[in-house]
Amino acid sequence: MQLAPAFSQNGRSHACSLCGSGPGKTGRTNKSPDRPIVTTDTDIDFEGIFEFCLNCAAEAGGLAGMIPEQIADEIREENAHLNSQNQALLAERNAARKALELLTAQYAALSASPEPVADAAA
């Protein structure tokens, strides 16, 4: 399979094999017919080469659970942003844990002290 700039002369009536759109006509997708197409180089007897427009390719991809590249890029950007936020929060959490460990150690040292702590009022 490959991407071609237009329907080939050997294609099925120079139109999309799935929806029928092609130069000078619109098929069921009602999109611009002068777009790149996917050609399979598979020649079907009495029909010609099986070629289909990008609209049909996108529709088939959507049915298969695929997403457009633009949406994938947006998801990647959001994921990168969330990962950086996560790293910052992890660093903040680790700093808080170290501070807690230090305070716990200081409290334990003071609690183990045999001398009473002087009263602040005195």
> What's the chain's average pLDDT?
78
- Ranges of each domain in the chain: 2-63, 69-111
Residues 6+ apart with CB under 8 A from 47: 12, 17
- Check: CB of residue 22 under 8 Å from CB of residue 56: no
Report pTM: 0.45
Choose among 80, 11, 21: nearest CA to 47: 11
Amino acid making up residue 52: F
Report the pLDDT value the prediction gives residue 6, as an integer from 0 to 100: 62
Report the pLDDT value the prediction gives residue 102, as an integer from 0 to 100: 95
Report the pLDDT value the prediction gives residue 85, as an integer from 0 to 100: 96
Report the pLDDT value the prediction gives residue 67, as an integer from 0 to 100: 84
Report the pLDDT value the prediction gives residue 7, as an integer from 0 to 100: 63
Report the pLDDT value the prediction gives residue 96, as an integer from 0 to 100: 97
Q: Check pLDDT > 70 for residue 3.
A: no
Of the listed ranges 11-25, 54-68, 80-94, the least confidently predicted one is 11-25
Q: Read off the pLDDT of each residue in 68-91 and give the average, rounded to a whole number.
A: 92
pLDDT 10s digits, 22-67: 665 555 554 544 667 777 777 777 667 788 888 888 888 888 888 8
